[in-house]
A and B are shown apart, each in its own frame.
Chain A
Amino acid sequence: MLDISVGENDEIILAGRFDAAEAEKARQIFLNLTDAKVVDFARLDYISSAGLGVLLAAQKKLSERGKGLRLINVNGHIRDVFHFSGFDQIFEIG
């Protein structure tokens, strides 16, 4: 299960598992973003290439407007995934 909510500072909070089964639900939300956003990964347990694909699409779309996603609390295995995929180069992390 992937739980997507909005935090006190208007950041997006992801909780649970961002996998192929949940990617479509997330895609609807991320592709509708029009402004820069902070995404909190603190409660995210898992992400696969399906999740990365959604984030990549959102980032590309936002970059056309000169905006982007800032990812915070990216830890452990998820940080490895960002590193191995080179996504730590195309997202602002921290």
Chain B
Amino acid sequence: MEVTEQSERRTARALYALLDLAKALSSEIDLDSLLKVIEEKASSVVEAERTNAFVLDSARGLPIGVAGEVARTRSVVNIVDAGSLLAVPIISSGGELLGVLQSMNKMTADRFDDDDESLMMAVASHVAVAIERARFTALSIENERLAAGLKLASEIQMRMLPSATVALSDDSPFEMHAYIRPAKMVGGDLYDFALKGNRLYFCIGDVSGKGIGSALVMALTKTLFRANAAYYADAAKLMEAVNVRLYEETGPTMFVTAFCGFLDLNDGMLRFSNAGHDRPFLLRRDGTVELLESKPGLALGVMPKFRYPLQDTTLARGDALFLYTDGVTEATNASEELFTMERLRDTLEGCAGDSVVRVLEKAIDAVDGFVEQAPQADDIAMMCIRYLGVRRRAAAFDRNLEELPRVMRLAERLDQAVRFPVELALEEIFTNIVKHNPAGKSNIGIDLDIIENEVVITITDFDTPRFDPIADAPEVDIGQTLENRTAGGLGIHLVKKMMDRIEYSHQNRTGTITLRKRMN
């Protein structure tokens, strides 16, 4: 009787302890904290002195001794040796061995009995669920952390690239736009550019491979280009400097193709160097498309002492350079067909008169329209730079013919075709003002702007009575005989012939003449 009561009391206590364990397990998700709870609660369930939970770890292999035997045989061991010992396997619902639960030294008896075995098996099944849950939680936290890390890496990488849409003033001597779309969260394509005085430095590059490794080399390459571009004004020297460092810093299988250049914004002179990169296209102002002939140097990071060739070409006002990575031409549709350089060229030939932003939009649309639903296999990068030239020059001049050479300098950057008529107009109007209003107390201001396809010259005399050189100039009869010809009015006559439009306005002693001349 007494024995039964004792036994019932014990069973009830064990069940409470088991419930307590289950409750504790459900609130613990960290594996290490979980093991502590298991060891403490399991001991009270089977009245053991202490309990150890061995969780199998693929890195460490099976435990030794009794626990090892339990792991191997997946069966219960209940023995009395130096003390009593009860060990049970922890097996998941899917049948996977997760570990071994081992209690030592039954405190209320010499050995663990059948009830203890049953209780330990019950504990082990709770522990299995808890371990699986902890592992799953840890895995999903890790995944989340990885995803968040990758998202951050992607953001950092995008931030490394200068903003693709460059806000430029109306009279900027160039316009440019860049686009990049990695195939994965992070990519190996890069571009860079910076304005250095009157020169625009730019580069585009493609790191071999894809994924995190390429992304790290991309970051390194971009940094090397930017840092060295501050020191070198020579595209070939810049390539050489980046190449040496890339060779030192990257493994033998990693390489980078790149194209870099410096565009002189005063005269359109483009000096460039190519390191195994796809040749850029030249988009001429008239809409024709050419490949920029360039010697393909070796890709960066392959050979430490490679001499990269320096080449040059001149961009006329309105000409643009289109650079891209092979993710564009090798974009693949569902039928495994490549976009190809020919399709890219066709697309660019349909971009006459488009802004650089529009050119990239059309190119991206063409690639996407071709690829349709097929997944993007490689990173895509494009950059378009259009040379516009110095579009606004302005200066103030003394009321003196000795200023003429300075006045002429306003026109020095113009294309040959318009330079002559513009110089003639500047000279004739300026000398006209100096001769007719020598007493004026102000400077004479001259602005030369290029607006769209037109040169607009504004000449302002800030201290003058109303004098319209065009309306007030004597008529010239070009049919007159030599004896009757005079030089009077000849200058204004030529200006009228050579300019497309002339306007005069006068207000508060300020007279302004505006002349316009179309460029081709």
Q: How far is the CA of A76 from the CA of B402 in the complex (A)?
A: 27
B420–A46 touching, CB < 8 Å: yes
Closest to B404 in A: A21
Report chain A residues within 8 Å CB of B481.
90
A84–B498 touching, CB < 8 Å: yes
Q: How far is the CA of A3 from the CA of B202 in the complex (A)?
A: 43
Q: Which of B38-46, B145-153, B438-446, B482-490 contacts A (4 or more CB under 8 A)?
A: B482-490
Smallest distance from the beta carbon of A88 to chain B beta carbons, Å? 9
A56 interface hit (Cβ, 8 Å): yes
A48–B491 touching, CB < 8 Å: yes
B421 interface hit (Cβ, 8 Å): yes
**B494's contact among A19, A56, A59, A81, by CB below 8 Å, is which?**
A81
Q: How far is the CA of A13 from the CA of B423 in the complex (A)?
A: 22
A66 interface hit (Cβ, 8 Å): no
Q: How far is the CA of A48 from the CA of B424 in the complex (A)?
A: 6
CB within 8 Å for A86 and B491 given contacts A19-B427, A21-B401, A48-B428? no
Report chain B residues within 8 Å CB of A5.
none
B482–A50 touching, CB < 8 Å: no
A90–B485 touching, CB < 8 Å: yes
A85 interface hit (Cβ, 8 Å): yes
B 412-469 contacts with A by CB, 8 A: 420-421, 423-424, 427-428, 431
Report chain A residues within 8 Å CB of B424.
46, 48, 81
B482–A21 touching, CB < 8 Å: no
B497–A86 touching, CB < 8 Å: no
Query: Mostly helix, strand, loop or mixed at chain B's interface?
Result: helix
Report chain B residues within 8 Å CB of A7.
none
B498–A80 touching, CB < 8 Å: yes
Smallest distance from the beta carbon of A73 to chain B beta carbons, Å? 16
A 52-87 contacts with B by CB, 8 A: 52-53, 56-57, 59-60, 63, 76-77, 80-81, 84-86
B483–A52 touching, CB < 8 Å: no
B421–A77 touching, CB < 8 Å: yes
A33 interface hit (Cβ, 8 Å): no
Report chain A residues within 8 Å CB of B491.
48-50
Interface size on B, residues (CB 8 A): 28
Smallest distance from the beta carbon of A46 to chain B beta carbons, Å? 6
B109 interface hit (Cβ, 8 Å): no
CB within 8 Å for A49 and B479 given contacts A19-B404, A20-B401, A77-B420? no
Smallest distance from the beta carbon of B428 to chain A beta carbons, Å? 6
Report chain B residues within 8 Å CB of A85.
476, 478, 490, 493-494
B405 interface hit (Cβ, 8 Å): yes
Report chain A residues within 8 Å CB of B401.
20-21
Closest to A60 in B: B482
A52–B490 touching, CB < 8 Å: yes
Smallest distance from the beta carbon of B418 to chain A beta carbons, Å? 10
CB within 8 Å for A49 and B485 given contacts A20-B404, A77-B421? no
Question: 26 pairs across A/B with beta carbons < 8 Å?
Answer: A19-B404, A19-B408, A20-B404, A20-B431, A21-B401, A21-B405, A46-B423, A46-B424, A48-B424, A48-B427, A49-B491, A49-B493, A50-B427, A56-B485, A56-B487, A59-B482, A60-B482, A63-B482, A77-B420, A77-B421, A81-B424, A81-B494, A84-B497, A85-B478, A86-B478, A90-B485
Q: A49-B491, A52-B490, A60-B485 are in contact. List 13 more A-B contacts (CB 8 A).
A: A20-B404, A20-B431, A21-B404, A46-B423, A48-B424, A48-B427, A48-B494, A56-B487, A60-B483, A84-B497, A84-B498, A85-B493, A89-B479
Binding site for B on A (CB under 8 A): 19-21, 46, 48-50, 52-53, 56-57, 59-60, 63, 76-77, 80-81, 84-86, 89-90
